[in-house]
Amino acid sequence: MSANATLSLTTSLVSTLTSTLASSLAPTNEPALAPTASSTPPSPQPTNGLTSPPINTVTAAFIILGVTVGSIVVHAVLTLVFRIVAKKTVWALDDDLVKYLRKPTFIMFPVVALLITIQLITLPQGVKETIQHVLVIILLFSISFFVVMIIKCGSLAIGRVNSHLRETEPKRAREVDTQIMVMTRIVQGMVWVLGLAGIAMTFPNAWQVGVSLLASASVATLLLGFAAKPSIENALASLTIALTQPFILEDYVVINGEPGHIEEILSQYVVLRTIDERRLIIPLTWFISNMFQNWSRVSTRQLVQCQISIDPRSISVTTIRKAFTKFAKKHPAYDGRHANVLVSGWSNSGLVDLSCQMTVGNSAEVPKIEAQIREAMLEVVLVKTGGWPLADINERGEDGSPEDEKSASSSSTAKKNDMVFTPIAPAAIVTDFHRILNTTPGMSDATLDKV
């Protein structure tokens, strides 16, 4: 179908509609008398399906402006009515329809009204064709926009139906959410491509140019193919990920040493939310050709392993094991499967390397739990070796000891333990650090929690 045929088909449909409305509303005239020999034939009048009196440009401009404003007012009134009706229903779909279809229909109402009005007034042929062409382009865009919003409302409705799985089967719910997101974006992209193709077909030479490009293996065609190769590869990769699902939304993955959650899957890239709230943008093709870790592939359960070193002359492995077992049983993330301390190494300096292991139900909390294990075990070491687990660095000297007993306490502790431990407990450091942050401008409670 050529561009002229596309444009003429659209305008002819509008002309037919307006002609039918005008003929049904026109008054019935008296039957005309038979023409006599002396009567002269009437002079032909220009017509475009309807007989309209000629008007000047200023009048036509005022008519077009009035029709545009009137259609916008009608759209606003209908939107308000539908919004009130939607609020009184128990379904959320009608609320989504009113919310997301408001913008495309705001464009469609004036365009359709102007297309009908253009058929009812007399304008210069060139001006009328130009206005019709512009209106048809805007109409095709608004129709594509309308269909895209319909698809969005449908995906939201399916997501609400899937919401009951989030409590009983969270992994299955995330799988469905991933499929809905990817397939929705693919279908929306296809709608936009078809809409742009329809707009291009309204231009006279667009069809001939497209046919010539597809029919010839020219250098321009090859360059266009190479230029579009990354986009095409990413689009195919998004379809592959939606079908095979190597990862889904909110999966905990490690990519090139960067742990984080899959926050969003788009048509060209994936957004990874790291632990420190950064966002990594990764092309979809990277996941097809590279290796990465998915800690949530089968289950979110994970074995946490934290390495610490102790001096066995100061504190025994049994003491650490008992303290760690008590810590694990009280930890809310512990799933009850495994908690133990193993000797993983022994250095030449006499220090023993211990591996504190516990299983947790949420792999996303592993880095946080590792830090908590180190802090808890350090508290145990300080208590058992005579340190000051609750020392306040504001009340001590530069080395952490009281000002009046600084030298005596430090020497006696070193002799007693044969090792010099840092006499400042993590709790004291955290307390003083929070005090400093609280006095720093721009630091919120959420920032303190992350720190």
**Predicted local distance difference test score (pLDDT) of residue 434:** 64
- The stretches in the chain having pLDDT less than 70 are 1-57, 166-168, 209-228, 299-300, 364, 386-451
Angstrom distance (rounded) from CA 413 to CA 423: 9
- Report the SS3 class of residue 321: helix
Yes or no: say if 247 and 272 are a contact pair by the CB < 8 Å rule. Answer: no
**Predicted local distance difference test score (pLDDT) of residue 360:** 85
pLDDT digits (tens, 9 = 90+) for 89-143: 888 888 889 999 999 999 999 999 998 888 887 777 788 888 889 999 999 999 9
Yes or no: say if 427 and 441 are a contact pair by the CB < 8 Å rule. Answer: no
Yes or no: say if 162 and 177 are a contact pair by the CB < 8 Å rule. Answer: yes
The string of DSSP letters for 377-400 reads: HHHHHHHHTT--TT--GGGB-TTS
Angstrom distance (rounded) from CA 78 to CA 86: 12
**Predicted local distance difference test score (pLDDT) of residue 24:** 40
**Predicted local distance difference test score (pLDDT) of residue 36:** 45
**Predicted local distance difference test score (pLDDT) of residue 213:** 57
**Predicted local distance difference test score (pLDDT) of residue 148:** 93
**Predicted local distance difference test score (pLDDT) of residue 220:** 59
What CATH architecture applies to the domain 299-385? 2-Layer Sandwich (3.30)
Cα 211 off chain centre by: 37
Domains 234-294 and 299-385 share a fold: no
Yes or no: say if 385 and 417 are a contact pair by the CB < 8 Å rule. Answer: yes
Yes or no: say if 354 and 317 are a contact pair by the CB < 8 Å rule. Answer: yes
Output the CATH code of domain 234-294: 2.30.30.60
Which residues on neighbouring strands pair with residue 435, listed in sequence order?
none
Per the listing, tokens 């993590």 go with 426
Query: What residue segments make up the domains of the chain, in order of their start?
Result: 3-18+50-168+188-199, 234-294, 299-385, 387-451
- Report the SS3 class of residue 117: helix
Q: Cβ of 440: how many Cβ atoms within 10 Å? A: 8
Angstrom distance (rounded) from CA 146 to CA 100: 9
For 350: left if phi > 0, alpha if psi spans -120 to 50, otherwise beta; the answer is left
* Nearest partner of 116 among 131, 127, 101, 105, judged by Cα: 131
* Nearest partner of 150 among 100, 89, 87, 186, judged by Cα: 100
